[in-house]
Each structure stands twice: as structure tokens, then as C-alpha cells.
Chains A and B, each alone.
Chain A
Amino acid sequence: MIALLLRDLKLAFRAGGGFGLGLAFFLIVTVLVPFSVGPQSSLLTTIAPGVLWLGALLACLLSLDRLLALDWEDGSLDLLATAPLPLEAVVTIKALAHWLTTGLPLVLAAPFLGVLLNLPVPGFSWLVISLLLGTPAMSVIGTFGAALTVGLKRGGLLLSLLVLPLYVPTLIFGAEVARRGATGMETQTPLLMLAGITAATVALLPFASAAVLRINLR
């Protein structure tokens, strides 16, 4: 299991493109927002938590189609399916690798981009906490989407269409935590809901992903 994780991480670092691209995308989205809505700092303060969450979500989405596609193309997915390791574990590792290479950097970058958007000081910690809690769910849900579309030639756009509605609850509660944190309101309820969603998706969705992958590998 650990070997597989290390292999995935190594591939992500070596393959160029993949790693860091999500971060760059996140940066660009954040930079473009003031251009589109205007530079008034009060307005930016209001929308900063939501924009940062949306940016992180889109950056996460962007990297999903490479999640399983490479392994699918070179056939290592078939090998993994016949390996003694259950497929559920494989997809969990895949999601974990995706989170480590995409989700975690986004979480770490978010405070710096928050400065650009004039995020109020109390918002920083809540932003990081909410992203830290929410991005694993995004990786796991994304793995499900990637498993659904893995066999398709041009699955990228379809993948977005399938995954985005599934992201709605995570986005709502995550952005709500960040927004409430930034305005100094209590954050316990959305935080608990967000944690619940993440825990439930991490625990249950790999089974669906593995089932879907088995169908696709048939």
C-alpha cells in the first residue's frame, strides 16, 4: 500500500505538468477575480472566503482527469485490479495521493492568496481549517468521478459535469465555515457538517469508486 502511495507521489512529482499546475490555476483564478469585480477592498473582503473556496475546488477539479487516466493508459490499472490489494484500498490510496499532491498544496497556498483578496485576519485560520477538512472529500469524490469516466476518450468535460453537483454540499459547508470565520460568527455547525461529509465520503465512497472501476475494467 505504502509502495503504491510512494509510486503515485513520485510519478506526480516527476511527470511535470500534473503537480503544481493546480496551484498555478488557483493563483490565476484568485488574481483574475479583482480584475472582474473591481479592486474595492471592502467588496473583496466580503467575497474572499467564497472565491478562495471556489478557486481551490476548481483547481482540484482540473487535476482529476489525470488521476486514473495515466494508469489506465499504460495498463497498470489492470495489474492493480488483479493484485492482492483490494481495489477499494487502491482507490483510497489514489485519492490520498491526489490529496497530497493537489489538496494539501492548495490548503497551504490559500492564506497567501487570502492576503491578495484582503481576507480579514480572523478568517485565515478558519479558511485553512475548512480547506483542510474539505479537500479530502473533494479528492475522494473526484476519484469516484474519475473512476466513472476512466474508459472514455474525452472524459474531462463529462467528469466536471458529473463531479460538480457532487461537490455542492462540501462547497456550501466549507465556504460557510470560511465566511462565518471571516466575519467572526460561530462556525461550529457548518464545521461539524463539513467534517461529517468528509468522514462519510472518505469512509463510504471508495466502495462505490472501486465498484465502478471494476465495471470499467471488465
Chain B
Amino acid sequence: MTIAAKANSLWEYANPRKFLATSERVLPFFWISAGLCLVIGLTWGFFFTPDDYKQGSTVKIIYLHVPAALMAVNCWLMMLATSLVWLVRRHHVSALAARAAAPIGIVMTLIALATGAIWGQPMWGTWWAWDPRLTSFLILFLFYLGYVALWEAIEDPDTAADLTSVLCLVGSVFAILSRYAVNFWNQGLHQGASVMRAGAVTGTDTEEKVSNIYFYPLLLCIIGFVLLFIALVFYRTGTEIRARRIKALLARERVNG
């Protein structure tokens, strides 16, 4: 085997191996603590917090809605970071981690949108309002879909990693642009409409207003979501590494035999 091939195999296997070993060691901790945090946090929130005087029992949705929304955005940020690492350092695990994270982001965005719609129905009298925040999440959802679709469409894994990474970078810029554009657009439509201001209930800017009774279980749920996200990313990245290795091994088998 030539030196180049050896160096290549070092990148292909040695580092992912180490990653797999490490993730194998830490994964149980993350799974268990994520499960604990979520079970305790959600139980606490669902059974042992009082109803809000204005929103009634719907306030309990906050324990799912806010963490999911946070993770939907953070997941994209993580993909952005790992995409950058891939483009700069050509670290295979990094690209695969971004790939592994995208479906998690999709599910988080879906949860945030679904709970938002279910919550919005009794609160604003409509399932869906073109509130800036809701709209931005819908756009984020589309970005996730495009990203995953591009990964699925391209045969060669390195090309796919490169292209999706660039898409992630460009997409991030446009996602931020869209966020501002949507803010502007909605103000343009409904100047100072009070129903739309109520839309801010769903967002982080009201978190300061959330009183302590709600805050501690909410914090626990957020931690739970973060831990669950980490566990899922580790696990799914491991899966992607294995899928990649199977592909490489089969390719080598074809060449040799």
C-alpha cells in the first residue's frame, strides 16, 4: 500500500475509531441523564405547576415548546460549526456529525411548530398566524429539508460533505437575513397589532417574565433536551461512521475480488 493510501486510511479509520470508542463510553451517561431530566422535568411541569391566570393549563406546553425551539436553532448552529470544521480541517467525523444532526433538527422544528400551532389555537383563535417567529421557524424547517435532501441526493460522500457544508454556510447567512426580512415584513403588514405581540409569548424574550414556579421545571426540560440532543448526535454519528465504513469496505472488496 502506498503512503498516500495509508495516510488516507488513517483519516478514514483511526479518528472515527477513537470517536466510536469515546462515544461508546460516554453515551450511557448521556442517555440516562437525558431521560432522567426529561422525565423529572416534564412530570414536574405537567403535574406540579399551577395554571397560569391568563393562559390556564396551556402554560404547561411551554416545557416542550421552548426547549424544542431552542434546540431547533442550536442544532443548526452545531451543524454550522461542524461544517466549518469539515471545510477547514477535513475531519470526517465532523461532516458526519452534521449529517447526523440534521434530522434531529427537523424533529425539533416540527415539535416547536406543532406545539405552537396546538397552543395557538385556543390562545389566538387560530392554528397558524404569520407571526415573524412562526414564519422564521417554517423557513428554518425548509432549510433543514433542503440540507437533508442534498445529502441524500449525492453519491460520493466527500462531495456530499463539501456541498452540504457550503450550503450550510450560505444557508445560515440567508436564514439570518430571512429572520430580519420576516420581522420587517410582518410589521409592514400589521403595524403594532396586539394579537401579533401575543405571538411573542412563544419566544425566549418572555423567558424573563416566566416566574420561578415555571422556570425551574422549564430549565430542567431544557437541560434534558440538550442532553438528549447530545446523546442522539453521538449515537447517530456513530451510525453514520459505520455506514461509511461499510461502504468503504464493500468498495475495497469489489476492487480486490
Contacts and interface: CB of A to CB of B under 8 A. Distances in A.
Interface string B78-122: 000000000000000000000000000000000000000000000
B149 to A, nearest CB: 6
Nearest to B185: A172
Contacts of B185: 172, 176
Contact of A166 (B163, B166, B169, B170): B170
A193 B153 CA distance: 34
A169 B174 contact: yes
Contacts of B149: 158, 161-162
B166 A164 contact: no
Interface string B142-181: 1101100110011000010011001101110011011011
Contact of A168 (B139, B145, B154, B166): B139
A180 interface: yes
B162 to A, nearest CB: 4
B143 A165 contact: yes
Given A148-B150, A176-B184, A208-B169, A165 B163 contact: no
B56 interface: no
Contacts of A172: 178, 181-182, 184-185
B163 A148 contact: yes
A2 B37 CA distance: 64
B188 interface: yes
Interface string A191-218: 0010001000000010010011001101
Contacts of A212: 162-163, 166
A186 B150 CA distance: 40
Contacts of B150: 148-149, 158, 162
A161 B139 CA distance: 11
Q: Closest 8 A-B residue pairs measured CB to CB? A: A169-B181, A172-B181, A169-B177, A165-B142, A215-B162, A162-B146, A168-B178, A172-B185
22 contacts: A144-B170, A149-B153, A161-B145, A161-B146, A161-B149, A164-B142, A165-B139, A165-B142, A165-B146, A168-B139, A168-B178, A168-B181, A169-B178, A173-B181, A176-B184, A176-B188, A190-B184, A212-B162, A212-B163, A215-B162, A216-B163, A218-B159
